[in-house]
């Protein structure tokens, strides 16, 4: 399935507001059209999308080329407003071979961090997400077949109201490439 424009059909959501199974190439404009302009909770979604655009610009400053797999409540039309947008940055190993400590630090600032120790002695936080929690972002190398398979399975899974994966149900997610 594709998008209108470039001669492709319009991508349709399933009756329960999810992308059809599979990975769907998309541009930022297409993401905005389907998951902000044409979606419920437009104001909340616009706020998340603005954070996404800034985050995406920062990612592109670090990597000359790569791919984002984008998922989460943002990529659905659910009754409740999304809290964030989920993604994994996928790049060729050559993109990180020349990284210095400054670039490594900049990348860490763009990723979701877990089990973070805070400057105050003994204080920790279970999770820190970039852009004030509006982005949930992870990283994988394009040559790491196991990681890519894990992210594909994760992004394809459908969670129930209890937050657990529902066996036998699948959905799609977006792929943004630069």
Q: Over the chain (178 residues), what is each successive 10-residue block's mean pLDDT? A: 40 91 95 95 98 98 97 93 97 93 94 80 79 95 98 92 88 97
The alpha carbon of 114 is separated from its chain's Cα centroid by a whole number of angstroms, namely 17
pLDDT score, position 40: 95
Distance CA 131, CA 135 (A): 6
The pairing of strands 85-91 and 135-141 is: parallel
- Under 8 Å between Cβ of 101 and 128: no
Cα separation, 19 vs 24, in Å, equals: 9
Specify the pTM. 0.88
pLDDT of residue 10: 55
- Work out the widest C-alpha separation in the chain, in whole angstroms: 58
What pLDDT shows up at residue 2? 40
């Amino acid at each position: 399935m594709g998008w209108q424009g470039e001669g492709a059909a319009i991508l349709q959501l399933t009756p329960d507001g999810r992308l059809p199974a599979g990975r769907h190439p998309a541009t930022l404009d297409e993401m905005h059209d389907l998951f902000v302009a044409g979606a419920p909770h437009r104001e909340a979604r616009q706020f998340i999308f603005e954070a996404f655009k800034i985050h995406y610009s920062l990612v592109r400053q670090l990597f000359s080329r790569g791919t984002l797999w984008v998922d989460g409540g943002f990529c659905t039309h659910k009754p409740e407003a999304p809290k964030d947008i989920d993604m994994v940055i996928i790049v060729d190993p050559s993109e990180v071979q020349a990284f210095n400590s400054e670039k490594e630090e900049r990348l860490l600032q763009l990723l979701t961090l877990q089990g973070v120790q805070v400057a105050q002695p003994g204080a920790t936080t279970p999770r820190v997400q970039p852009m004030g929690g509006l982005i949930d972002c992870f990283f994988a190398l394009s040559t790491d077949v196991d990681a890519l398979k894990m992210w594909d399975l994760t992004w394809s899974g459908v969670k129930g109201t209890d937050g657990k994966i529902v066996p036998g149900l699948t959905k799609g997610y977006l792929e943004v490439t630069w």
